[in-house]
């Protein structure tokens, strides 16, 4: 599925300005894709992914004219998902199952262990997702899903 440029949910801006701890200034855009899938139980479900793309300060003016909310990302790439059994960065929370009708979210466990994921923009349209799949022997297994299977 194609990635679509989003407006910042609070500011309404397409490009959010940011500054690193070292003083480097840049912009960020949020992109989202929805892929229609059928899960292992045979249920049709949409799979949403969101990633952020950084823009160096010197390219912000060009980006402002080329990056438009609601339109497809104007350059090659895809949102790649990487799942792991361990947190991928400090403060990383595991995957959750959203609660229904006011219930709290519950932690998603696979073979009794939490799963952590990160969605990032990858300029390689042929990049693959790295997903953890259930393994009856309780051993960790990883399935690479081709970009074609996600389209």
CA 138 to chain centre: 26
Average pLDDT over residues 68-80: 95
CB 29 within 8 A of CB 9: no
Strand partners, 25: 19
Alpha-carbon torsion (44, 83, 6, 98), positive or negative: positive
Q: What is the pLDDT of residue 141?
A: 45
Residue 102 half-sphere exposure toward CB, CA atoms < 13 A: 0
Give the model's confidence band at 145: pLDDT under 50 very low, under 70 low, under 90 confident, else very high. Answer: low
Share above pLDDT 70 across residues of the chain, in percent, rounded to a whole number: 89
Q: Is pLDDT at 77 greater than 90 in this prediction?
A: yes
Q: What is the pLDDT of residue 27?
A: 96
pTM of the entire predicted model: 0.77
CB 86 within 8 A of CB 113: no
Q: In this structure, which topology does domain 1-75 adopt according to CATH?
A: OB fold (Dihydrolipoamide Acetyltransferase, E2P) (2.40.50)
The CATH 2.40.50.140 domain(s) of the chain lie at: 1-75
């Amino acid at each position: 599925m194609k990635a679509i440029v989003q407006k910042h949910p609070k500011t309404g801006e397409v490009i959010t300005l940011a500054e690193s701890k070292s003083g480097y200034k840049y912009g960020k855009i949020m992109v989202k894709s929805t892929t229609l899938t059928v899960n292992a139980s045979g249920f049709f479900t949409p799979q949403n992914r969101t990633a952020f793309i950084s823009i160096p300060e010197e390219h912000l003016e060009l980006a402002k004219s080329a990056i438009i909310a609601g339109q497809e990302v104007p350059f090659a790439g895809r949102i790649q998902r990487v799942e792991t059994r361990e947190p991928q960065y400090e403060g990383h929370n595991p995957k959750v199952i959203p609660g229904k009708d006011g219930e709290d979210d519950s932690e998603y466990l696979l073979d009794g262990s939490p799963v952590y994921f990160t969605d990032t923009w990858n300029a390689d349209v042929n990049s693959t997702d790295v997903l953890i799949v259930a393994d009856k022997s309780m051993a960790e297994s990883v399935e690479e899903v081709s970009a074609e299977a996600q389209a």
